[in-house]
Chains A and B, each alone.
Chain A
Amino acid sequence: MRIIVCVKQVIDTAARIELKDQKLDGTALARVLNPYDEFAIEEALRIRESKHDTEIVLVSLGAECFRDSLRAGLAMGADRAVHLMDPLFNNIDSLTTAYLLSQAAKLLGFDIIFCGRQAVDDDMAQIGPALAVYLEIPCITVVTQLDFLEDWDVAVAVRQIEGGTETIESSLPALFTCQKGLNQPRLPSLKGIMAAKKKEIETFDADKLGFSLKEKPSSNETLIHTGLSLPDRRGEGKIIGGSPNEVATQLVKILREQEKVV
C-alpha cells in the first residue's frame, strides 16, 4: 500500500501577525509544519505499523523553505519526500496547487491520501476536497478516527460535524483530511532526525508534472486579493470590582441592559 501525505509549511501559531503595506511581514517569523499535517503523518505511520508493506510519501508544493517541513515529516518516519517546485509555481492559486498535487499523486500511485483539515495560514480548507475531485476519488474531511476492514479495501472514518460526529464508510482509494483527536503525533526520535538528514528529497518540476501556465484557468483573475488588515482593536475593557456577589449582580445587569447580549 502507498500513502501520500500532503504537507505545508506555515507560520508558527504562536507568532503575532504584523502587517506592512497591508501585507504580512513574515520574514522574521518562525515556520512550522502545519499542525493538522502532523496528525496526517502520524496516522500514516500507524497504518504502516499494522500493515508493514506500506510506503509513506510526503508531498509538498512551495518555496525552498518548505523542505524543512518535508524533513520534519521524514524525521517522524515517512519513507520518501517529494517537493513540487518550479519558478512557474510562484503565485499560483489553491486550485492550481491542488491540480499539481493530483498530477504528482498520479505519477506516484496511491491507495490513501491524507491532508490536514486545513492549513492554519489561509484557513481555506480547499486543497483536500479539490485534490479528491481532480483524482476522482471519494473524500472524507475532518476525520477524528479511522479504521479499516480486514482486507484494507474499505475505510470507516468518524468525523466531526457541528454538534456531533458522523461515521462514514468508503472504499479505497480515498482521501481523508485529518483533525485533532485522530491521534497523538509522535516527536521525531534522534535516530529519525539523523536518518531524515541523509534522505534525499526528490523534486518534481513543471515539466515532470506536465504543467504549463496556459493550461488552467486561475481564480487569481476572479478573486482579487487587495490586502490584509488587522482585526478591529477592541476598546479599553472595564474591570468590574467588588465582592463576588456584587460583581455577579453588576455583570448580569450590564449584559442585560447595556450590551443586550442575553
Chain B
Amino acid sequence: MIVSKKILVFVESGENAIKPFAFEAIHAARILADALGGSVDALCLGIEKSLADSLVHWGADSVKIFVNPLFETITLEKALLSIEPLVNEQKPYAVFFSATTYGKELSASLSAKLNVGLLTDCVSIDLGKQGEVLVRRPVYAGKAISHVTLQGSGPHILSLRQNVFRGPSPDISRIGKVKLIDFKIPDDRLVLKIREVVRESGGQMDVTEARVVVSGGLGMQKPENFILLEDLAQVLRGAVGASRPVVDNGWRNYSNQIGQTGRTVQPDLYIACGISGSVQHLAGMSAAKCIIAINKDPNAPIFSVADYGIIGDALEILPLLTEEFRKVLGSSG
C-alpha cells in the first residue's frame, strides 16, 4: 500500500533560470500525484522567488527554495546535503530528477545515502490495474525496455528522460505555496569547486534537449559539409548530432555522438543524413517520434526505422530542405 503520496521534484537550475526539462519532471509528478491523490513538492536551490511561480503553473503544490550564498554554484555535494535531510523529513513516495549529468549523479548518490532503489532515465510512469505504479526505462541504450513495478511506501528515486514527459501548456491560474528557506551547509565538508562553466559556441541546444535533431554520418563526406546540417538545425531550432565514425574521424565533438556509446535522444523529429544506421546508432535514436532518413544507399539499415525515407544525396537535398523550411516557417513567424 502506498502511504505517503507526496512526490518531491528536484528542480535543476542554472544562470538564474529553471532548466526547461525541470518543468517536464514537475508535469510528470503532477500526473502521478493526481492518479494517487497526492501532492507535488518542488525543491530549488538558490533561485529567485519570482521564478517559482512557473513551477506552480506546471503542477507543483508547493515550492521550497533553499537560500544560501553558496548556491551561486551548485555541486553534487551541495545538492546532496540539501536534498537528503528533506527526503528524510518528508518521506515522500517518490523523488523525481531529470536524467541529466547533474540529475543522474545526484539521484544515484541519494539512492546510496538512503539505501533505496534507483531507476535512471525513465520514459513512462503509469498506474497499473491494482493501483501499483509501473515504470518503464530503456536498457541496452534502448534496444530493450525494462519494466519495473514500484513496491512499498518508498521513497523511490527516479530520473526522467528529457523530452518524454512534456506537458501541453502551463496553467497560469494554479496557486501554490512558495517558501524561501535559509539553508545552512556545513561548508567544511565541501571539497568540489566549480572553476568554470563553458556553454557550447553559438548557444546551440544539447542533443538530448532538442526537439529536432539533424544528424550526419560519413555520407556528409567532409567536416565542412556539416554547415548544411547546422543551417537546417538553426531554421528548425534544433541541434546537430553525428554518427560514431564521424566523431571518431574528429569531424564533430563526441558530445554530439548519437548511439549506444554516445547520447541517446528522443526528439520529435530526427533527420538522419548520410547515416547508414549501425545497430548502436539505431539504439540511440529510434525512440524519436518521427524519423527521416536521407541516404544514397536504398539498402541502408537506417531506412528500417525511418517513417519517411529519401533515397538520394544528402548534400544535394539538405540546402533545398532548409530553404523550403525557411519559407514556410518564416511566413508563420
Contacts from A to B (Cβ < 8 Å)? 11, 13-17, 19, 22, 24, 35-36, 93-95, 98, 120-134, 138-142, 144, 156, 159-171, 174, 179-181, 216-217, 219, 221-231, 234-235, 237-241, 244-245, 247-249, 251-252, 254-256, 259, 261-262
Contacts and interface: CB of A to CB of B under 8 A. Distances in A.
B139 A122 contact: yes
Contact of B104 (A140, A141, A252): A141
Given A138-B77, A141-B104, A162-B206, A262 B236 contact: yes
Nearest 7 Cβ contacts at the A-B interface? A219-B117, A130-B112, A129-B108, A133-B112, A248-B320, A163-B206, A181-B254
Interface residue SS majority, chain B: mixed
Interface of B: 19, 75-77, 100-102, 104-106, 108-109, 111-113, 115-121, 137-152, 154, 156, 162, 191-200, 204-206, 208-209, 211-212, 236, 247, 253-255, 257, 260-262, 264, 268-269, 278-280, 283, 286-287, 289-293, 303-312, 316-317, 320-321, 323-325, 328-329
Contact of A237 (B193, B212, B307): B307
Contact of A14 (B121, B200, B280): B280
Contacts, number: 277
Given A121-B139, A126-B120, 9 more contacts: A13-B283, A120-B261, A125-B120, A139-B109, A161-B197, A231-B142, A234-B291, A234-B307, A262-B269
Interface residue SS majority, chain A: mixed
A157 to B, nearest CB: 10
Nearest to A181: B254
B108 A244 contact: no
Contacts of A167: 194-198
Contact of A249 (B191, B307, B324): B324
Contacts of B208: 162
Nearest to B120: A124
A223 B151 contact: yes
Of B101, B102, B293, B304, the most chain A CB neighbours within 10 A belong to B101
A118 B279 CA distance: 19
A160 B197 CA distance: 10
A170 B104 CA distance: 19
5 contacts: A120-B260, A167-B195, A168-B194, A169-B193, A225-B146
Contacts of A121: 139-140
A124 B138 CA distance: 10
Nearest to A14: B279
Nearest to B145: A229
